[in-house]
Structure formats: C-alpha cells, structure tokens
Chains A and B, each alone.
Chain A
C-alpha cells in the first residue's frame, strides 16, 4: 500500500474513533476531544488526497479547517465553563431541564 492509502485508512479509523467517543463518553470535555479527532480525520484525508497533485488547495482547505476547529474549541470550552457555573456539572445527561431554576 502506498502512503496516501495508509493515511486514508488511518483517517477512517480516526473518524470512527471520534464518533465512538462522542457516542459513549459521558463528560462533555471528552466529547469535545472526540470532535477534535473527527476534524483531524478530515484534515488528514485532505492532505493525503493532496499528496500526488501539484496544486496545494487541499492543504489550504486543511488550514482553514484547523482555524475553525480552534474557534469551536474556544467557544465550546467557554460554554462548558458557563454550564458548570450554572448547573455544577459537566455531564450533559444530568442536564435535562429547560426551565430556569430559581
């Protein structure tokens, strides 16, 4: 197998690992880690498909995906901190109410 093909299978593995983390873990921070893994799988796929081409548009696409992932992580952690401040937990299963509690 050539290098890009191995990286294709590695990105499939990272994608399904990230999905498994999002499905099974309870804590919201670990769910954020799973989302980072999924975005990394997309980046790895773009770079692998860009390897044999003289143009570099795949790499630039991956660059902008990294940027959006950073924004997502920052806003996600901020929302998590607010959620912990308000509900005293970071486990989404424990937050099952829509009504304000006063």
Chain B
C-alpha cells in the first residue's frame, strides 16, 4: 500500500527525490502520510483537492483487499 502511494506521488510531482511516505499502522487502520517539497504541494492536492481525492479513491480500492481502513494524509 505504501508503494502504491509512492509510485503515484513520485510520478506526479516535480521533485520526486523529496517525496517521503510514512506508514503508521494501527489495529484497524493504516495511515499513510505523504510529505512532499513545498513547491509540489499543489501537485498532490490539486484544485479543490481533486488530486488528493483521486489518490484516496485509488488507495481505498486497493485497501478493500487488505481488510483495513487506509487513510491518506498530506503533511502541510
């Protein structure tokens, strides 16, 4: 799941070397935190959060196999 977010994030930003994904695993849920360069913030959020929403939709679909809730957060 972490790799999924990593592949997406690193392909849509301008500075893939500054992308950091942190996984925090709980009992029932997994939190994936996306940290990108400040200049790339808009590239992962998008106008009215459209890109962030698309990332979450894809991750949510992949998570149905995992049996855990996966939450994607973008660090400000």
Do A and B come from the same complex?
A: no
The residues of B with any CB-CB pair to A shorter than 8 Å are none
The residues of A with any CB-CB pair to B shorter than 8 Å are none
